[in-house]
Each structure stands twice: as structure tokens, then as C-alpha cells.
Structure 1
Amino acid sequence: MVKEYLYDEIANGIASQINSGVLKSGDKLPSVRMLCRDYGISMNTAKRIFLELEARSLIDSKPQSGYYVSRLPYMKLPLPEVSRPSQKANSNDPDELIRKVYTNMGKEGLTLFSISVPSGLLLPLAKLKKEIIHATTALKDGGAGYEPLQGNLELRRMIAARSLSWGGNLLESDLITTSGGMHALSLCLMALGKAGDTVAVESPCYPGILQVATGLGLKVLELPTHPVTGLEIEALKKAIPKINICLLVPNFSTPLGSCMPEEHKKEMVSLLAKHHIPLIEDDVYGDLCFGMQRPKCCKSFDEEGNVLWCSSVSKTLAPGYRVGWIAPGKYKEKLLQLKLAHAISSTSIVQQAVASFLKRGKYENHLRQLRKVLQENYLNYVEAITAYFPEGTKISRPLGGLALWVEFDKKINTGQLYDLAIKQNISIAPGRMFTLQNQFENCMRLCIGLLWSEEVKFKLRQLGNLACMMLSAS
């Protein structure tokens, strides 16, 4: 009780100083160690205080620098509402809207706010090219032969070694490589489900997950989701009798950017294991944290092999390389059988190249730079949205990832906004793409993975002007 009281007292005291103007925008806060020394608290309690202040959008963390009072006007842009989807499984796939958005993405001169990958200008393309060349000489047959069924051994070793940073403690034998993150998720759903089974997901949810699930004949149950803390545990508890599989993105989900607290992850893993419901964990954004500490995964708390941890380098390093992996726990043999039937082998050269990139320490250096850029982008986007979007606009407050969720007045239909914006060479992802239900029509996702420039700022201004016009015309 004393620790909880002290935690609340310190967090609220700092918040009060920020709100009253004693601490001003851009001021640097004491370090974690200084907070521990000044208040006599543990490192974990100090970190929790800073996480709480970040969740309130009062402070921002900058890698290798520390915590600063946020540049954002306090509560100027409120959070989106907690989603309240129907508690009946649905399959009303917005295929036409998704096709329209993705068909246009190759259009020349288009500003792609709609596709959630980092710009090639933010990726170490020259270094990757060298690794590809090196891989052709490092591999026994120049990469022309098949890999072992589980995948490149060096890559699996590097992934296992990196799992120590989030408490995974994996071995190379625990992992199976795949052709990207979606291939990993597809194999998991095929291994665990059959037509007519129900899979529980967050709402809103990544369209690719919805399409794969419905394509396999699965029913999709969308659950209420908080824009900061992710899936609501109480809603999951009530849904337990209805579901056969759970597929979640606990760390910086797209499109909300929410991050489930550790205590929620632990409780959820225990709950699902108790009811023998497998959890497919999509951790493709986990490495893109804005703060100093990468969040733990649900797999960190998995004692029974019930969590199938999936990830890739598609959102961090090389989308086109299609290098992903699964730590499938007790479902390993099922996954190997499916991979053998559907793929036989992953691509040798790119797996070796990524393995070498990780082994040489280049990935961590790249991540440090990318995280810093994405956090700066987030702040720049919010400043532009504050200046140019309609009054009453709500936005998410991600602490990592590539997505920013925007909620307009219900009079603005973002499907129609897309049609207007595409004429200005601006592509957005309308909210209706992220659900099988008739909801989120007044929302959209913006990718913050572009290289920030005056041109990007101008495109956000154009987008805001279009939204203002729609609102005034309604």
C-alpha cells in the first residue's frame, strides 16, 4: 500500500507541476536514477511513474537522452473512444475499400500515409545490399539450395539471443522461420483453427489479419480495446466461452498504437492457458518503442507453451525481404508440418543476410536511429494535426510503432475523405478497413514512418483542410 501511495503521489506531483506551468514544454526531467535517489524508490517504481506520465501525454522519452515535458498541448487533442464492437462474430469484410487503397499505393507522386511501413529513406539499404552479397559467399551453395525446414540456423540463433531483452529466453530450436510476419500468422491460424471456429481480436484490427481469418472460414470476434492499454481484459473474460483462438498485437498495435501493460499480459496468458485457448502473439512492432525499454511480450509469461510468438523485420528493417519467424511453443510439430506442405523452405540468401546484420550489431544501431526518428515524427504529426485538423479531432498516443489513429466528428466519413484526398495525391487508411463491422467510419490511420519534410507537413495541412471542408458542408 505504501508503494502504491508513493507511486501515485509522485506521479500526480509531477503532473501538477506540468499542468500549472512550473515545468514547461521541453524541460528535461530528472533521470530514473535521480528519481530513485530523491524519493527512495526502486528502479521499477521510477520507470512506472514515467510510463504513467507518458500515457497521459505529459512527457516524452528520447532514446539516450531522457524524459522531457511534452511538446504537445496538454489534453488539446483528447484520446479516441474505447471501441465498443458488437459481441457477435462477424465476417463483413470491407474488401472493396481495401482493394481501392492498396491498388492506388503504386501511384507515382503519392504521399503514402496509408501503408504502415517505414520509408526506404529511413532504412540502411546500402548496408543491407552488402550483406546480400556477403550471404552469397557465406552460404555453402551460394544460397541456391533449400534451407533446413526450421530455417537458417544463424538467424534463429540471433533471434533467440535478442529474446533475452524482453524475457523470452528462447533457444534456436524453439524457432521456425517464415516468409514474413503475415505468413507466420497464417500458418498459426491454419494449424490451430478449422472452419467455423472463432478467433478473438482487438478492435480496430489490422486488415490483413481479418482477411486471413475470414479466408480460412473462421468467425472473427472483435473485442473492446483501449487506445492506450489495448484489449480490455474484462471483455476477454466474458468472451472466453465463445472463442477457440486469440490473436493479438499487444505491443504498439496497428492502428491504435496501444501497448498492453505487463500485468495485463501476464493475466491474459494465465487466463487463456487455464481455458486451453492458444494465443497467437503478433509482435512485429515490439522493437519500435519510443522509450528506453522495449516492452515484454506475452511470450515472456508463457509457462505452458500456449503462446505462439510471431514477428519479422518487415516493419523495422526490410519489408520486401519477407523474413519472419514463429516461436510456436507446444504447437511446433503442427507448424513444421504446415510449413513443409506450404513452403518447404524459406529464402536462403535474405535469411543469411538478416542474420549477419543482426550478428554484427548493425540492427541495434539502426533501431536506435529509427526509434528516435519515429518519435520525432509522431510529435511533428501531432503539431500539424493540432494546427490544421478540425476542432474536436481525437488522436491516439502511441509509445512506439508506426501508426497514429485519428478520430473525427461523426459527420466526417473517412471513406469519402479518401476519395477527396487521393485527388491531391494523398493516400490514407480509412477506419472501416480495420473492422468487419459498421464502425470507425469517422476514423483513419496515418503512418508515421515517412521521412518528415515540409512536403509531408503540407500534405497533412491539405488533409486537414479537406476534413474541415467536409465538416462545414455537413
Structure 2
Amino acid sequence: MKKDFLYSEITNNIANKIKLGVLKAGEKLPSVRKLSSQHGISINTAKRVFLELEGQSLIQPKPQSGYFVSDLAFFKLPLPETSSPIPFAQNREPDELMNEVYSTMGRNDLTLLSIGVASGNLLPLAKLKKEIIQATRGLSEGGSEYEPLQGNIKLRRMVAARSLTWEGNLKEEDLITTNGCMNALSLCLMALTKPGDTIALESPCYPGILQLAVSLGLHVVEVATHPVYGIEIEALKKLLPQIKVCLLVPNFNTPLGYCMPDSSKKEIVELLTKHEIPLIEDDTYGDIHFGPERPRCCKSFDKEGNVLWCSSVSKTLAPGYRVGWVAPGKYKEKLLRLKLVHSLSSVTVVNEAIANFLMTGRYDNHLRRLSKTLQENYQHYALAIADFFPVGTKVSRPQGGLTLWLELPHEIDTQTLYHYALKKGISISPGRIFTLQDQFHNCLRLCISLPWSEQLRLDLKQIGSLAKSLQQQPPSLRTAGRACS
């Protein structure tokens, strides 16, 4: 385990230097033998480091010459700034704008760059249909009976087995099935908080989590977040006396797409455990990694049962099936009582079908194809943004997941841009819906999970052209599209 930790540390260190521009495009890296000698690792481990970096398109091999930092145009785009939310600011939910953006779900007349789910064209829909039929035939009473309160045994067994890949070492009895990850997060927050309590979240943050917290009467503290490293631990430390729960998305957070380094995950788990503050970990995107290996979760560093690990197949396999789960650690009994009251049972046939799909190995084959496609899409999107968007546009460099975060020049209001783009048949997500504070007005999120095409490239060109036209307008017109703030 120590060797694996060192390998991850070396890989992340080089990756971060490339992403931050410390190592420049075209710069030669140390040889495999030299890297091995510098860090006291085996030749095979050194090769593994380079393979992972190559898998992330961060480096490229040149025959007879070694490895070099990739000379790709989108690496020249600057990174978004570390967010700077105001501690304990008054929450101001952008509910009207949020509702407007999410009301476009399912519309076939729009290019939906606003909804962070994989396109049906990228999902194994025919195979899933067969699994549903087989599950109906194989289950007692055709799957019409209630499941055990803790959930489908086969599904829990498969999720537990898969946790070995990220050193979670879960057992089937550690898990409770839920109706998607949002249901898992909801049960966790209801079990651990009461109205008026304060919770800490990343900034920017997934709008669904913000809405959930507000609906439960919780006060949200947004924590400064770096686009590569994730949440700023020093900023979190200053908030600890006042917060009841911390909820994070450490692996391929939406909208930024970063993967928090293992050392940070370990430090946060130890810090929160010391202060007896539960950590709810949303790992919905953890399986969608652009590198060759799935990242570890905060849960893998949890020795006291203080981390409640939540995940699902909603972003990877079947959004509408609503299959999720939680490993709640020492809070298991609290969550079981809440599940009994709020949902009693998950959908029997669907959970059985997903369990069978995981068991056959088809899921891993699907994930490899999906991750490869999304990584290629990210590169296509970034190159289009470099070509068509205003000078000064900053772009995240996701290491996995489904989305890109853009920071446009300050004079461009993306709420206005949203309304202009909608008239052209394109839906984007303005940055204001990813916060409860008065920030991110010049930011936006794009979903990268639509199949790449020339039409999609033209749609991105259209957004870039609209952004440039906004930049040229008088200040009074630039914010004309703000329906709320």
C-alpha cells in the first residue's frame, strides 16, 4: 500500500506541474531509469507513472528520445482562478434560474450542453434492456416483492467487491441501497443535521446539492476550491468550529472535474475525524477516470466510520434507473431508520438487473469505452474553445467526469449568454447556479458527454461568437438576461 501511495504521489506531482504550467509544452521529462533512481522506485513502477500520464494525454512518447510534455493547444489555455467565496455569507438561492436551466431536460429540440449526464448514444441501452428482462424472469414473483430494507444483496455484494479497486475494502453488510445518489445524500444529511445547522461545501458546487441543503433548512458555507487540487484545506480549517457536516465530491467534482490528491483526502479525513465532524463523500463520478486507474476515495482512509460514502450508476450507466448506495460507517442504523420511513425499498427488478450487469464484467468494458470517449470529447471541446471563445477565456482541465468549467472575461455575463444561446437552440449552465453567493457571473459549465460531431463544433462556435458579441455591448446590456440574482 505504501508503494501504491508513493506511485500516486509521484504521478499527481508531475501531472499537477504540467497542468499548472510549471512543466511547459514540449519539455522533456526524466528517463524511466532516472525517475526510478530519483524516487527510489522500481523500473516497472516508473513505467507505470509514465503510462498513467500518457493516458491522461499530459505527456507523449517520442521514439528513441523519451517522454515529453504534450504540445496540445488546449494546455495553453489558462486555468480558472481558485474560488474565493465569502465565509458565512447570506445564502441567496438562484432558484428561478436553476429551475429554468433544468426545465430543458429531455428536450430534443436543443443541444443540451447544460445537463451533466451521458448521452444515450454512449450507454449500453440494448444490453440493459436484456438485463431487465432476465431479472424479471429470474426473481421470485417477477420482482414484484419488496427487497430487504438494506437492499439487494447481490448488488451490495458487487459494489463491495468493486471497492477493492480503490482500497475501500467494504463488505456487503456495510452498504445500503438507495434511489440514486441524491437519495443517499438526502438520507445522510437528514440523519446528521437539523434545520439551522451549518454544512461546508465546495465552491462552485453541484446545484442539486445546493438545492437539497436549502430544502432541509441548512446554512451553507462555501469553501475556496482550486481547479486542480480541490478544496483549500487551510480555508476549511478556519470553519471547523462552526460546521456540523462537510459534504465533498473529491473525485472529478462537477463542475471543475479535479481529482483531489490522495494526500489531501487523507488529511481531510483525519482532520474531520479529529473534530468529530462527519464527511459525506459523493463519489458519483469516480468510475469515469481518464487515467488508467480509478482514484481512491476518502472512504479508503476512514478508520473510525466517520465517512459516509455515496455513489450510483446514474452518471455512468442509467440515469433514469435511480440505482445508488451508501456506505454510512458508524451511522448505518440512523440511515436504515430513515430509509424505512422515506422509501422502504428500492426498485427490485432494476437493482437486480444492475447487479447482474456489474457481475458479468460488462460494466468495466463499458466504462473503458465511455472514459475514452469523454477524454477525447474534452480535447475536442477545449480545442474549439481555444479557437472560438474570447481571448482570456480560462478552462478547467478535468481528470475525469462529464463536464468542463469555463471562466470568461469579467465583462461577459453568462446568465445573459444562457438566454442568447437558448434562442439559438443551445442550452448551457450559467455559473451563478453553482453557488448561493453573488459570484461566478462570468463562468459557465459545459457537459462533454454528447457524441462529438461537426454540428457540436458549430454549436460551440456559436456560443463563442455570442460571448464575443456580449463583450462588445454597452455595460447596461451585458446583464440584460439576468432573471434573478
Q: What's the TM-score once normalised by structure 2's chain length? A: 0.89
Q: Which residue of 1 aligns with 2:372?
A: 372
CA distance in 2, matches of 1:20, 1:281: 35
Q: Secondary structure in 2 aligned to 1:314?
A: coil
Measured at CA, do residues 282 and 68 of structure 1 come closer, stay the same or move farther in structure 2, by a change above 3 Å?
Answer: farther
Q: Which residue of 2 aligns with 1:82?
A: 82
1:71, distance to aligned residue in structure 2 (A): 5.4
Is 1:356 the equivalent of 2:356? yes
Is 1:176 the equivalent of 2:176? yes
Is 1:110 the equivalent of 2:110? yes
Q: What amino acid is aligned across from residue 201 of structure 1 in structure 2? A: L
How big is each residue's C-alpha offset from its partner over 1:21-66, in whole Å with a ceiling of 9 and x where there is no partner? Answer: 466xxxxx999799648986346666667778999x84379xxxxx
Unpaired runs of at least 5, structure 2: 1-5, 62-66, 475-485
Q: Which residue of 1 aligns with 2:482?
A: none
Is 1:154 the equivalent of 2:147? no
Is 1:281 the equivalent of 2:288? no
1:19, distance to aligned residue in structure 2 (A): 3.9
CA distance in 2, matches of 1:60, 1:134: 45
Q: Which residue of 2 aligns with 1:405?
A: 405
Alignment of 1:177-192 (within 5 A): 177-192=177-192
The number of aligned residues is 459
Q: Secondary structure in 2 aligned to 1:201?
A: strand
Q: Secondary structure in 1 aligned to 2:186?
A: helix
Q: What amino acid is aligned across from residue 150 of structure 1 in structure 2? A: Q
CA distance in 2, matches of 1:121, 1:52: 28
CA distance in 1, matches of 2:74, 2:421: 29
Alignment of 1:277-426 (within 5 A): 277-426=277-426
CA distance in 1, matches of 2:190, 2:33: 47
Q: Which residue of 1 aligns with 2:479?
A: none
Measured at CA, do residues 379 and 31 of structure 1 come closer, stay the same or move farther in structure 2, by a change above 3 Å?
Answer: farther
CA distance in 1, matches of 2:291, 2:227: 18
Q: Which residue of 2 aligns with 1:145?
A: 145
Alignment of 1:187-336 (within 5 A): 187-336=187-336
Is 1:135 the equivalent of 2:135? yes
CA distance in 2, matches of 1:32, 1:130: 47
Is the 1:35–1:46 Cα contact (8 Å) retained in structure 2?
A: no
CA distance in 2, matches of 1:397, 1:210: 24
Q: What's the TM-score once normalised by structure 1's chain length? A: 0.90
Q: What amino acid is aligned across from residue 471 of structure 2 in structure 1? A: L
1:107, distance to aligned residue in structure 2 (A): 2.9
1:473, distance to aligned residue in structure 2 (A): 1.9
Measured at CA, do residues 141 and 201 of structure 1 come closer, stay the same or move farther in structure 2, by a change above 3 Å?
Answer: same
Is the 1:7–1:49 Cα contact (8 Å) retained in structure 2?
A: no
Identity of aligned residues (%): 61
Q: What amino acid is aligned across from residue 159 of structure 1 in structure 2? A: V
Alignment of 1:46-65 (within 5 A): 58-59=58-59
Is the 2:26–2:68 Cα contact (8 Å) retained in structure 1?
A: no
Unpaired runs of at least 5, structure 1: 24-28, 62-66
Q: Secondary structure in 2 aligned to 1:466?
A: helix
Q: Secondary structure in 2 aligned to 1:458?
A: helix
Q: Which residue of 1 aligns with 2:64?
A: none
CA distance in 1, matches of 2:271, 2:26: 44
How big is each residue's C-alpha offset from its partner over 1:307-352, in whole Å with a ceiling of 9 and x where there is no partner? Answer: 0000000000000000000000000000000000000100001100
Is the 1:19–1:74 Cα contact (8 Å) retained in structure 2?
A: no
Q: Which residue of 2 aligns with 1:26?
A: none
1:180, distance to aligned residue in structure 2 (A): 0.4
Measured at CA, do residues 248 and 21 of structure 1 come closer, stay the same or move farther in structure 2, by a change above 3 Å?
Answer: closer
1:261, distance to aligned residue in structure 2 (A): 0.3
Q: Secondary structure in 1 aligned to 2:141?
A: coil
Q: What amino acid is aligned across from residue 455 of structure 1 in structure 2? A: Q
CA distance in 2, matches of 1:322, 1:222: 28
Measured at CA, do residues 31 and 399 of structure 1 come closer, stay the same or move farther in structure 2, by a change above 3 Å?
Answer: farther
Is the 1:193–1:244 Cα contact (8 Å) retained in structure 2?
A: yes
Q: What amino acid is aligned across from residue 465 of structure 1 in structure 2? A: S
Is 1:125 the equivalent of 2:161? no
Is the 1:313–1:323 Cα contact (8 Å) retained in structure 2?
A: yes
Is the 1:116–1:403 Cα contact (8 Å) retained in structure 2?
A: yes
Measured at CA, do residues 461 and 20 of structure 1 come closer, stay the same or move farther in structure 2, by a change above 3 Å?
Answer: closer
How big is each residue's C-alpha offset from its partner over 1:372-396, in whole Å with a ceiling of 9 and x where there is no partner? Answer: 0000000000000000000000000
CA distance in 2, matches of 1:299, 1:207: 23
Q: Secondary structure in 2 aligned to 1:317?
A: coil
Measured at CA, do residues 133 and 51 of structure 1 come closer, stay the same or move farther in structure 2, by a change above 3 Å?
Answer: closer
Q: Secondary structure in 1 aligned to 2:101?
A: helix
CA distance in 1, matches of 2:433, 2:51: 34
Measured at CA, do residues 370 and 52 of structure 1 come closer, stay the same or move farther in structure 2, by a change above 3 Å?
Answer: closer
Measured at CA, do residues 343 and 413 of structure 1 come closer, stay the same or move farther in structure 2, by a change above 3 Å?
Answer: same
Measured at CA, do residues 20 and 204 of structure 1 come closer, stay the same or move farther in structure 2, by a change above 3 Å?
Answer: closer
Q: Secondary structure in 2 aligned to 1:224?
A: strand
Q: Secondary structure in 2 aligned to 1:104?
A: coil
Measured at CA, do residues 71 and 368 of structure 1 come closer, stay the same or move farther in structure 2, by a change above 3 Å?
Answer: farther
Measured at CA, do residues 60 and 252 of structure 1 come closer, stay the same or move farther in structure 2, by a change above 3 Å?
Answer: farther
Q: Secondary structure in 1 aligned to 2:264?
A: helix
Measured at CA, do residues 459 and 32 of structure 1 come closer, stay the same or move farther in structure 2, by a change above 3 Å?
Answer: farther
CA distance in 2, matches of 1:399, 1:72: 16
1:83, distance to aligned residue in structure 2 (A): 0.2
Q: What amino acid is aligned across from residue 415 of structure 1 in structure 2? A: Q
Q: CA RMSD in A?
A: 2.9
Is the 2:26–2:71 Cα contact (8 Å) retained in structure 1?
A: no
Q: Which residue of 2 aligns with 1:164?
A: 164
